Amino acid sequence: MLRMLPLSAAVMVALLSTGCVSTSKNDTSASSAAVNAETAKPQTVFAARLQPVAGVTTAELADNRIKVSFPGITAFSHDGASISDELQRQLSAVVESLKGTTYQNVTVLGHTDSSGQLAYNNKLSQQRAEQVMAFLQQQGLTAEQLVAEGRGPSEPIADNKTAQGRAANRRVEIEVAF
């Protein structure tokens, strides 16, 4: 390996001096990457932008929709619709990731745990969705492209028999249609 290094250096010098290798900053791979970013589907760009954000997951759904979830984040207190600071940070990242992409609408899905009466939980889940929708509007999304839906306790992601499970079920999810 050590003997190959001087030989490799000599070959590179020879190629550079004869013009066989370009050192131009107009590298075709960089420009093709820019073209690929410009021609990529908006949902692909959106999901890629959110990938490095801690506490946010995305899943591709049917009909060119992306579902955004916030696992491990305590979004709401028991019996409350106020958005936690932690969720506000994640929602801001979602809004930032939507900038420059073309999308049809954003649906906010509010959820509750199963404690309490069903009618109350359905109302509470709607309030949670509306609180998140209002926050997204404050961050710059247009009201015409936002929808709030309360799902109550009908779609649990964890066991409602434990405090930890109930906390996980008090959540919001976002579906973005492209």
Closest CA to 112 of 101, 120, 100: 120
Residue 74: CATH number of its domain: 3.30.1330.60
CA distance 159 to 178: 32
pLDDT of 23 over the 80 cut: no
pLDDT above 70 covers what percent of the chain? 79
Whether the full predicted model's pTM is greater than 0.85, yes or no, is no
Q: Number of structural domains, the chain?
A: 1
Domain extent at residue 83: 42-177
For residue 116, tell me if it sits in a domain. yes
pLDDT in tens, 100-125: 999 999 999 999 999 999 999 999 99
For residue 83, tell me if it sits in a domain. yes
For residue 154, tell me if it sits in a domain. yes
pLDDT in tens, 48-86: 999 999 999 999 998 989 999 999 888 887 788 899 999
